[in-house]
């Protein structure tokens, strides 16, 4: 079983409920959820003229390959009513694969570790709550160290 870390966010509808529904949907698809962070309200990243997000991170185990995991995630997002708008636009649900064991993976549809996670406070804040000592396989820094470096001026 692979240990995975996912980021979940929502800024449309009942944001908290959307995030928690996504966690339940992952479990219903056979992904074993081990830890779930606190819910955090965060400002939008990229496109600022939209509602604030609710974000969380979770640790889970799966026997799905990265590509199959992505397929399941997309099915959950679509099932919850996610429609494509524009890059970094508002969404009812967003589920990102942040880390998959210590895998470094690059395909046309998926990059692991998530290529922007180290720049995003809304990812590092909840992730550092549940996995502060987890080492980023490319940057060779812990999640806690990445969070601290992001907070420095």
**Residues with catalytic roles:** 82, 91, 94, 96
Can you give 69-129 as a three-state secondary structure string? HHHHHHHHHHHCCCCCCCCCCCCCCEEEEEEECCCCEECCCCEECCCCHHHCHHHHHHHHH
Q: Which two tokens stand for residue 132?
A: 């502060």
Q: Tokens 């996670």 — which residue?
A: 117
Q: Are strands 111-112 and 105-106 parallel, antiparallel or unpaired?
A: antiparallel
Q: Minimal CA–CA distance to 54: which of 119, 115, 122, 125? A: 122
């Amino acid at each position: 079983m692979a240990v995975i870390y996912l980021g979940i966010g929502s800024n449309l509808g009942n944001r908290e409920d959307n995030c928690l529904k996504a966690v339940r949907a992952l479990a219903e698809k056979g992904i074993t959820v081990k830890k779930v962070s606190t819910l955090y309200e965060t400002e939008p990243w990229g496109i600022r003229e939209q509602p604030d997000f609710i974000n969380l991170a979770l640790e889970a185990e799966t026997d799905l390959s990265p590509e199959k995991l992505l397929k399941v995630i997309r099915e959950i997002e679509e099932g919850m009513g996610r429609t494509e708008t524009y890059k970094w636009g508002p969404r009812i649900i967003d589920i990102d694969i942040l880390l998959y064991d210590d895998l470094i993976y690059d395909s046309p549809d998926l990059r692991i570790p998530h290529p922007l996670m180290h720049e995003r406070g809304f990812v590092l804040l909840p992730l550092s709550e549940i996995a502060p000592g987890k080492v980023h396989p490319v940057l060779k820094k812990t999640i806690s160290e990445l969070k601290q470096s992001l907070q420095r001026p």
